[in-house]
Every structure is written in structure tokens, then in C-alpha cells.
Structure 1
Amino acid sequence: MSGQNLAQNVASLAIVDYEALVNKDAAEIQKLVHAGQTVGMFYLDLRGARTRAIFDDMPIIFKTGNEFFNLPQDSVEKTESLRTGEERGYHPSKGFEYYEIPRDEFERGNWDLPPTFQSQEERIRRTMRTFNEAIQTVLAELCASVGINIPELSDDFTIPSDTALKLVFKPPIHDAGKVINASHTDFGLATLLWYDEETTQVPVYDEKGGQTEVWQTVPVVEGSVLINVADELAAKSRGGLHSTVHRVVAPPGPKRVRNGILYLFRPYS
């Protein structure tokens, strides 16, 4: 592949500095607003003083997650963590496994982590709060830009919602480039994705705004998480904010275990 074609197949997304956003930097807010109203997907740089602890916590949370997911399927921890009929808790499937921690129950002290995770409870709590504060800051500016006010900005974890931190484990079964999750948009208000491999792709659109069959890879940007506007927020903004079409593919290279953490910010019930 030529250098020109390679460049055309890599998405170029805005990188928004979280510290500047918190400090109400006008240029940074404008960068965020433009991204939310056009592509609907952008990076949030978390290397500032408020959020840098996450870079120590995340590798340990990933390691702990691997210890849990590598337990036998009939282990007590996994069987007791299964939640039939709801997303929270442990869920196995053919292509991946995940463990979802509901924010409202966890913050109220009503959620018991499996024993493997219990030693890292404080890191998990700190990570959840960091992601929640980041999403709240981002959405406050995006909502202000389109003149809407959503009740979730009150940030009251005593009100039930499906907001959650999700740890995802993908075993080494997919060849490079294999589409794992087909083209879709996300349910909810916004999604925050922490990842260290190139697994997300976005479509290329033609001059009339039509989606083509060409996809661009979303690269990893050191020190940043990927955020995208989701369906509920786009609907509340009457289309002023854009819910991003994207898909998930296996990254380049040999088959290997892959990990990810998502923060799913969802409406109050």
C-alpha cells in the first residue's frame, strides 16, 4: 500500500485537552463543539494533573481483569457473577467476555465485586469517577452548544440508570482485519473507550454525505481516550450533535488477547 493510500485509510480526529476544557479555554471548547457537531468522535487527552493517576491504575485493572476472565467457566466467581436478562455483571459469549459494573449501585455500596477484583476496588472506583467527571465536563459543553439541558448533568448516582464501567476481554481467535462488531451507532448519551490497539474504524462519506464502503482506522493516541456521541444525545439535540457510525475489527498482527474498558454514559431510568 502506498504512503498516500495508507494516510487516506487513517482517520484524523480532534484531540481535546481535558485540563484546558475544565479551565474553560475558549479555543478548546470550540474544538470540542466542532467535533461533536460534525464527526461525533474525538480524543480526550487525560495527561493533566486531575487525571494522570489513571495511567498507573489502568494496567493493574487490565491485569486483574485477565485473572478473572481466565478463570474456568464453571468457577464460583464467574457463575455467581452471571446476571441473566441484564447487561450488568459477567457475560460470556463466543467472541468475547465482559464484566460490567453499574455506577449507581457501585457508588451506593450495593454492588459486590468478585473476589479477584476486590483488591483493586479503589482503583476501579477512582477510574470510574475519573471517566464520569470527564464525560460530565464534555457533555456540559456539548449540550450548551446546542441549547439543551439534560437531567443527567445533575450527576446524581442515587437516580437509577444504566451508566456503567465495562471491562471487555477478547480471546485470541480473530484474524487481523476480521470485523467483530459490524457497523453501528451506540445507545445512550456517550461512550468513552480506553484501548491500546487499533480496533475501531469509521466510514468515509462521499461529497453528498452518503456513507461509502471505505473505512478508516482510528489510531491510538498516547495519553488519550476515545469518546463518541451516542444516539440518545443526538436525538435530544435534534441532530445538532452527531452519533458516530463505527465498527470494531481485529487489529493488525498475530492473534492475541485484547482488552478494553468502556464507560457507558446512559440516561436516567
Structure 2
Amino acid sequence: MPHEVLPEKMASLAVVDYEALANKDAAEIQKLVQASQTMGMFYLDLRGPRTEAIFEDVSTIFNTGRGFFNLPRDSEEKTQALREGMERGYHVGKGFEYYEIARDEFQLGKWVLPATFEPEKERLTRTIKIFNEAIQTVLAELCASADVKIPELSDDPTVPSDTALKLVYKPPIHEAGKVIHPWHTDFGLATLLWYDEVTTQVPIYDEKGNQTEAWETVPVVEGSVLVNVADELAAKSGGRLHSTVHRVVAPPGDKRVRIGIIYLLRPYEA
């Protein structure tokens, strides 16, 4: 059976300038709110003085991540990083691996990095800080505009949460266009995705607003990360903010290793 090919139709999403948003620019806030009420997915442009360090840091973290994921699965670093029964730490899935760093534990100095990542502790610290401040700024403006109260939304790492930085590694086993993760919405408050290849697709809706079988691809926008409104934020807004349906596919071209970073803003669940 031939693999599904990527559709040629490309999605058109809003690009929100983080620097303008952080400076309380009214037009940028309105753009953010509009995007979150309609698509529920938008680009956040990080090419500004508050966030520009992220570009060099993430590139280095990607290279370090490849070194870690290329270790044998029974290596000491990987076995010691395994955490059964929770998403944090090192995990092996069907056709992928990931390593998730708990933001709270990391900020409080309670997280032990695998030896491969230890030299990049400063970069990881800076990356988590930038991602967290960026998504906190986004959430603060959305909550203010939609009059949403989120008591568990806090920048204090002593307040328990499931917020985390996740490095995802996918080996070169998928043909171009292969659906890797079927359609879904994200749980939590918001998801920030850093990627450099077209792997995300969103559904096309008919004139009645019903989801069809057709999909369009979310392109890469230089200098930007992709942000999704997630289920809990949509629920707390009474549906005024939209949790995006999306899926993950293998990018066009030859089979190859892919690695990405996801920042998950999630309140604590006992």
C-alpha cells in the first residue's frame, strides 16, 4: 500500500511578534487573540533582544540530543534516566524516543541530567527560561482578553506543575508523508513546538465548519516557534479559545533522523 503523500496546500497562520507582545502592543495582542479564537495555532516570532539567544542554544541542544539518543538503549545514561509511570525522563515509544526535563525540578536544582547533557546545563537553563517566559506572556494576554482565571498558572517553580521541556528523536524509518501521530488535540494549557521541517498538518473544514478528510501542511517560518492552544485553556475559556486539531507526518524527502523540542505548559494534576 503506498504511503500517504503530503498535500500541496499550505496552511496560513498568524505570526505574532513576541517582542511587540511583551511591550503590550495593542495590535499584536489583538492578532494573538484572534489567532487563538480561530485556528488556535500561530507562530511566535522570537527574533528579538529578549529571546535571540535561543537560536544558538537550541541548535547546540539538538546536536547534544543526537549524541544522547545515539547511545545504546541499555547504556547507563539511558537506563538511569528511565522513569516508569510518568512522562518525565527518558522513554522509548513505537518509532521514537524522547527525554523530558521537568521544569520545576530543574529550576530548583533537583534534576540530574544525563552525562551527555551536563555540559549544556547553562543552555538548557536559558532555553527553559526563554520558553517559559514567552508562553507565560502569551497566556497572560489571552487570559486577560478572554477574562479567564487560571490560579495554577504561576512562574514559581515551587508550585508543582507538569510543565516540561521535551526532546523528541525519530529514527529514519518513516517514508515521506507517513502519518506518525494521528489527529489529536494537546492537553494542558499550551504547547510550544520548535521544528525545522514540515511535519505538522491541520484539517481542512467544510463550509459548515465540519472537519473533512483533507489536510493542509503547516510550513516552517524562520525565527518562529509554533504555539498551540491546548485543551485545558480552551475549556477554562468556555470555548472562546480554540484547541487545535492537528497531526504529525514524516516530512518530504528521504528517510532521515529528526529531532525536535517541545515545551509543554501544564498545570499540576495530582
TM-score (norm 1): 0.96
Matched, 1:126 2:119: no
Q: Which residue of 2 aligns with 1:218?
A: 218
- State the match for 1:57 in structure 2: 57
Q: Deviations over 1:78-122 (max 9, x none)?
A: 011100000000001231000000011111110000000000001
1:234 paired with 2:234, answer yes
1:129 Cα deviation from its structure 2 partner: 0.6
Contact map agreement 2:153 2:267 (CA 8 A) in 1: no
Q: Report the secondary structure of 2:94's partner residue.
A: coil
Task: Give 2:48's aligned residue.
Answer: 48
Name the residue aligned to 1:111.
111
| 1:190 counterpart letter in structure 2 | A
* Structure 2 residue identity aligned to 1:43: Y
Where does structure 2 lack aligned partners over 5 or more consecutive residues?
1-6
- Where does residue 135 of structure 1 map in the other structure? 135
Name the aligned partner's letter for residue 212 of structure 1: T
Distance in 1 (CA, whole Å) between partners of 2:150 and 2:134 is: 16
- What amino acid does structure 1 have at the position aligned with 2:44? L
1:85-104 to structure 2, matched below 5 A, reads 85-104=85-104
How many residues matched?
263
SS of residue in 2 equivalent to 1:123: helix
Whether the aligned pair in 1 keeps the contact of 2:167 and 2:262 (CA below 8 Å) is: yes
Tell me which moved more, 169-178 or 141-150.
141-150
Matches for 1:163-242 after TM superposition, within 5 Å: 163-242=163-242
Structure 2 CA distance for aligned equivalents of residues 53 and 146 of structure 1: 31
Deviation at 1:266, TM superposition (A): 0.2
Looking at structure 1, the residues matched to 152 and 171 of structure 2 have their Cα atoms a distance apart, in angstroms, of 35
Partners in 2 of 1:11 and 1:225 — Cα distance? 15
Q: Percent identity?
A: 75
Cα offset, 1:153, TM superposition: 3.4
User: Partners of 2:203 and 2:135 in 1: how far apart?
Assistant: 24
| 1:159, distance to aligned residue in structure 2 (A) | 1.2
User: What residue number does 2:4 align with?
Assistant: none
Matched to 1:198, the amino acid is V
Q: Distance in 2 between matches of 1:151 and 1:124?
A: 27
SS at match of 2:87: coil
Q: Secondary structure at the match of 1:214?
A: strand
**Could you say what secondary structure the match of 2:117 adopts?**
helix
The secondary structure found in structure 1 opposite 2:10 is coil
Partner of 1:249: 249
* Displacement of 1:135: 0.3
Distance (whole Å) between structure 1 residues aligned to residue 148 and residue 122 of structure 2: 34
Give me the whole-angstrom Cα distance separating, in 1, the residues matched to 2:78 and 2:26. 48
The answer on 1:38 being equivalent to 2:38 is yes
Q: Which amino acid aligns with 1:154?
A: S
Once the two structures are overlaid, the 10-residue window that deviates more, 146-155 or 99-108, is 146-155
Q: How big is the shift at 1:145?
A: 1.3
1:165 is displaced (CA, Å) by 0.1
Alpha-carbon distance in 1 for matches of 2:45, 2:247: 22
Paired with 1:59 and 1:146, the residues of 2 have a C-alpha distance of 35
Q: Which amino acid aligns with 1:47?
A: R
Q: Is the 8 A contact 2:179 2:249 kept in 1?
A: yes
* Runs of 4+ deviating beyond 2 Å: none
Q: Gaps spanning 5+ residues in structure 1: where?
A: none
1:66, CA displacement in angstroms? 0.3
Residues 150-159 or 185-194, more deviating: 150-159
In 1, the alpha carbon distance for the partners of 2:23 and 2:13 equals 22
